[in-house]
Amino acid sequence: MKVPFLSFTPQNQAVRTDVLEAMARVFDSQWYVLGDAVRQFEAEYAAFSHTQECIGVANGLDALHLALKALDIKDGDEVIVPSNTYIATWLAISFVGGTPIPVEPVLDTYNLDPTLLEAAITPRTRAIMPVHLYGQACEMDAIMAIARKHNLYVIEDNAQSQGAAYNGRLTGSFGEVNATSFYPGKNLGALGDAGAITTNDAGLAKRVRTLRNYGSQQKYYNEVIGHNSRLDELQAAVLSVKLPKLLDWTRQRQEVAALYDQHLAGIAQLKLPATAAGATHVYHLYVVRTARRDELQQHLTAAGIGTLIHYPVPPHQQQAYASLGYQRGAFPLAEEIAATCLSLPMWPGMTENEVEVVSSAVRAFFQA
């Protein structure tokens, strides 16, 4: 039996009729940008996130960029960022003229190591950007305490972790302004690009609303040099249909992860995901590690099982960041993760049988 890396089939079946009806309503409304559907989804996602405000934008990268811009982070500013994140977090800093200052993760959880933060802080540091990677909440109490002590902003990258929590508080509700993505494969996915910012600060929310819409609050009056980065009505309507299912889909992801944990336990050469005390994990990805990663991936591909690597090259080793001058070995944990990580198939509604097929193929590889 073939197992893809990701299937939308169970999710799509659960919402097909409602999504098509919602799309028809937008079509018939004759209003396609910044209307009732966006306002409604923003209110619903703010309520879901336990924040006062949500501002819909065009994608997750724009959400990160506008968050930094709203905080007036600019040329010469330093922003602390994980060494092992998706490049989007770094790019947003570069867009505003700032410098990404990488900090290494805890190797068990892949999330920012709070004990390394203070050594990275300089007089130019303005903010910390924790990324709740793979679906697990960062150790936010320690991160927030350090941010407060040094008077730094916190901007969460919550693209992979909608609905995760640290000590009972939801990710995307800790920082001054926080970004998320509704890219189709994310835990809450649109039918194209979409993203949002969450915040409890009304002033910052207003700045982001202005920045996303040409720097304008009143049509054709432009206060600042803004962007065109609006969540569109069609995507907002789709997201409003899917949001009420997210808790259920998260539980299904957690069940799939628990089955993997069970079926893959005890393989000496295979490191399974671990969750920090106080954190919850919503399993955007189920990531394992092994020194024999490339061989394992080839073995699974040959067996018809889809896998991906998140991510094969850490940002500091990307050609795009050659100008920062980092040599091989500059961030050994990020490099180690890039060389050894493998994401196994994971989606809400994946069956126990499918998990078993993947797990047996992994076992067979290590037993051979």
Ligand X SMILES: *Cc1c(COP(=O)(O)O)cnc(C)c1O
Q: How far is the CB of 149 from ligand X (least distance, A)?
A: 26
Helix axis angle, 36-49 to 9-29, nearest 10°: 140
Q: Cα 32 vs. chain centroid, distance in angstroms?
A: 27
User: Which residue is at the shortest CB distance from ligand X?
Assistant: 60
**Restricting to residues 69-88, which ones interact with ligand X according to CB under 6 A?**
85-86, 88
**Helix H segments across 33-86?**
36-49, 60-70
- Work out which of 19, 22, 57, 60 binds ligand X, going by CB under 6 A: 60
Q: How far is the CB of 160 from ligand X (least distance, A)?
A: 5
User: In angstroms, rounded to a whole number, what is the distance separating the alpha carbons of residues 85 and 334?
Assistant: 9
Q: Before 110, cis peptide (omega within 30)? A: no
User: In angstroms, rounded to a whole number, what is the distance separating the alpha carbons of residues 232 and 111?
Assistant: 32
Q: How far is the CB of 43 from ligand X (least distance, A)?
A: 21
Q: How far is the CB of 66 from ligand X (least distance, A)?
A: 12
If one asks whether residue 159 binds ligand X (CB under 6 A), the answer comes out as yes
- Work out which of 156, 157, 176, 232 binds ligand X, going by CB under 6 A: 157
User: In angstroms, rounded to a whole number, what is the distance separating the alpha carbons of residues 253 and 10?
Assistant: 12
Q: Which is nearer to ligand X, 88 or 264 (CB)?
A: 88
Q: Cα 126 vs. chain centroid, distance in angstroms?
A: 22
Q: Which is nearer to ligand X, 281 or 299 (CB)?
A: 281
Residue 79 in 3-state DSSP?
strand
Q: How far is the CB of 54 from ligand X (least distance, A)?
A: 15
Q: Which is nearer to ligand X, 183 or 365 (CB)?
A: 183
Q: How far is the CB of 298 from ligand X (least distance, A)?
A: 25
Q: Which is nearer to ligand X, 202 or 320 (CB)?
A: 320
The region of 54-62, 96-104, 169-177, 323-331 touching ligand X under the rule CB under 6 A is 54-62
Q: Cα 110 vs. chain centroid, distance in angstroms?
A: 13
If one asks whether residue 181 binds ligand X (CB under 6 A), the answer comes out as yes
* Residue 341 half-sphere exposure toward CB, CA atoms < 13 A: 26
Q: How far is the CB of 165 from ligand X (least distance, A)?
A: 17
Interface with ligand X (CB under 6 A), residue total 15
Instruction: Give the DSSP H or E segment for 170.
Output: strand 169-170
**Helix H segments across 57-139?**
60-70, 87-95, 117-120
User: In angstroms, rounded to a whole number, what is the distance separating the alpha carbons of residues 113 and 330?
Assistant: 16
Q: How far is the CB of 92 from ligand X (least distance, A)?
A: 8
The region of 49-57, 155-163, 165-173, 212-220 touching ligand X under the rule CB under 6 A is 155-163
If one asks whether residue 131 binds ligand X (CB under 6 A), the answer comes out as yes
If one asks whether residue 93 binds ligand X (CB under 6 A), the answer comes out as no
If one asks whether residue 111 binds ligand X (CB under 6 A), the answer comes out as no
Q: Which is nearer to ligand X, 284 or 299 (CB)?
A: 284
Q: How far is the CB of 294 from ligand X (least distance, A)?
A: 23
If we measure between CA atoms, which residue out of 367, 344, 144 comes closest to residue 259? 344
- Count Cβ neighbours within 10 Å for each residue of 35-48 and write b for 16 or more, e otherwise: bebbeebbebbbeb
User: In angstroms, rounded to a whole number, what is the distance separating the alpha carbons of residues 31 and 37?
Assistant: 9
The CA dihedral of 200, 202, 204, 205, to the nearest 10 degrees, is: 90
Neighbours of 338 (CB within 10 A): 19
- Work out which of 51, 89, 187, 280 binds ligand X, going by CB under 6 A: 89
If one asks whether residue 128 binds ligand X (CB under 6 A), the answer comes out as no
If one asks whether residue 195 binds ligand X (CB under 6 A), the answer comes out as yes
Chain positions contacting ligand X, by CB under 6 A: 59-61, 85-86, 88-89, 131, 157, 159-160, 181, 183, 193, 195
